Amino acid sequence: MDKSRRLAHLSAMSKRPPRIAARALILHQDRLLLVNAYGGGKSDLWCAPGGGVEPHASLPENLMREVYEETGLSIAVGEPVLVNEFHAPEHGFHQIEVFFRCTITGGTIDPAWQDPEGIVTSRAFFSRDDLARIRVKPDSIAQAAWGETMLYDPLERIVT
């Protein structure tokens, strides 16, 4: 692609609206549930379960659906505790995530569970100390999961 077409393509991508996602901070026995959301194990980065919202459903409704798809767990959605933004300007991607404190109401973590979209490849509970030894995003996830106040984590660059 020549330079002018590439610049036009990048300009068009940068005008895409931000994607909105809902994520669950689920503490069980003082351990946080995280998922690896890179199909085929392409990355060792962990994140909270959840995903993009569908129109005409509330953030909690979307979150309950996403958590079930990714983990097989049913949850109750509590209060929001973190708003996080991240982006990849070179791809025109910008996501705004709202993290909610959640509790498990049904199900167990089953290693054989299959995410119907094939995105989540593994799921596990981590202690706060464990988070220092793994790659996890956003940077403020521990503070949000174990903290008391609402946080806003400004625009971070996407990492894989």
Q: Give the residue-averaged pLDDT of 64-73.
A: 95
The tokens of 56 are what?
A: 């005409």
Please state the CATH superfamily assignment of the domain spanning residues 3-157 in this structure. Answer: Nucleoside Triphosphate Pyrophosphohydrolase (3.90.79.10)
pLDDT in tens, 75-106: 999 999 999 998 888 888 899 999 999 999 99
pLDDT: which is higher, 92 or 71: 71
- Domain segments of the chain: what residues? 3-157
Q: Give the residue-averaged pLDDT of 1-14.
A: 54
Those residues whose C-beta lies under 8 Å from the C-beta of residue 67, and which sit 6 or more positions away, are 24, 26, 49, 50, 73, 74, 75, 102
pTM of the model: 0.84
pLDDT of residue 99: 96
Q: Looking at the chain, how many residues does it have?
A: 160
Distance, in Å, from the CA atom of 137 to the CA atom of 126, rounded to the nearest integer, reads: 13
Q: Is the peptide bond before 49 cis (omega within 30 degrees of 0)?
A: no
Those residues whose C-beta lies under 8 Å from the C-beta of residue 149, and which sit 6 or more positions away, are 81
